[in-house]
């Protein structure tokens, strides 16, 4: 690997951001993160009887408070229903509404099947390698953000006004 390879990778990341921006328009109030939660609820409901916030948090590797906020937004948008557990009212189960299931059907099931058809020349191995490289790059940059070692010279932080 060399600097040109890194430039290509970072350029591809910028293109990936643009790809996210040009996907099918979401309904008002729905964000890509909401779609990930809808997908998580749908898939967890297949493999287990009840879906809890903690299940989604674990599946998405995101903190419970941030998932709870998104769950509350989805409930207000009538995409999911919260069902209190009969044995313990402190426990809440989550279920997609008819609207939530229709979002799953279009934005996940049909869209992903369509993309699969469009990208049929890309191998599973190529997809997995691409995803692994992006995860590794994200991890490296997240670690750098948390514990900076690559710090710009102080002169870069003085602003653009040369009279300062």
Q: What is the C-alpha separation between 79 and 97, in angstroms, rounded?
A: 5
Q: Which residues pair with 93 in a beta bridge?
A: 83
Tokens of 108: 């996940």
The predicted model gives 128-139 an average pLDDT of 96
Q: What is the CATH number of domain 25-121?
A: 1.10.10.10
Q: What is the C-alpha separation between 56 and 62, in angstroms, rounded?
A: 8
Could you read off the pLDDT of 107-131 as tens digits, one per residue? 999 999 999 999 999 999 999 999 9
Report residue 161's pLDDT band, with 50, 70 and 90 as the boundaries.
Answer: low
Q: What is the C-alpha separation between 109 and 100, in angstroms, rounded?
A: 12
pLDDT exceeds cutoff 70 at 45: yes
Question: What pLDDT is recorded for position 30?
Answer: 97
CA dihedral of residues 140, 141, 142, 144 (deg, nearest 10): 90
This prediction's pTM: 0.82
Phi, then psi, of 88 in degrees rounded to 5: -160, 105
Domain ranges of the chain: 25-121
Q: How far is CA 118 from the centre of its chain?
A: 22
pLDDT exceeds cutoff 60 at 163: no
H or E element, residue 100? helix 98-103
Report residue 160's pLDDT band, with 50, 70 and 90 as the boundaries.
Answer: low
Report residue 164's pLDDT band, with 50, 70 and 90 as the boundaries.
Answer: very low
**Residue at token pair 């006004």:** 161
């Amino acid at each position: 690997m060399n600097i040109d390879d890194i430039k290509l990778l970072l350029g591809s990341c910028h293109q990936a951001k643009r790809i996210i921006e040009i996907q099918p328009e979401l309904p008002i109030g729905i964000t890509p993160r909401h779609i990930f939660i809808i997908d998580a609820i749908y898939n967890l409901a297949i493999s287990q009887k009840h879906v809890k916030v903690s299940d989604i948090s674990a599946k998405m590797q995101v903190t419970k408070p941030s998932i709870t906020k998104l769950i509350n937004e989805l409930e207000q948008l009538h995409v999911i229903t919260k069902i209190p557990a009969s044995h313990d009212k402190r426990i809440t189960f989550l279920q997609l509404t008819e609207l939530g299931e229709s979002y799953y059907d279009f934005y996940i099931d049909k869209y992903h099947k369509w993309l699969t058809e469009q990208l049929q020349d890309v191998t599973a191995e190529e997809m997995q390698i691409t995803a692994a490289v992006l995860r590794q790059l994200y991890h490296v940059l997240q670690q750098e953000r948390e514990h900076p070692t690559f710090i710009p010279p102080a002169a870069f932080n003085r602003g653009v006004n040369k009279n300062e």
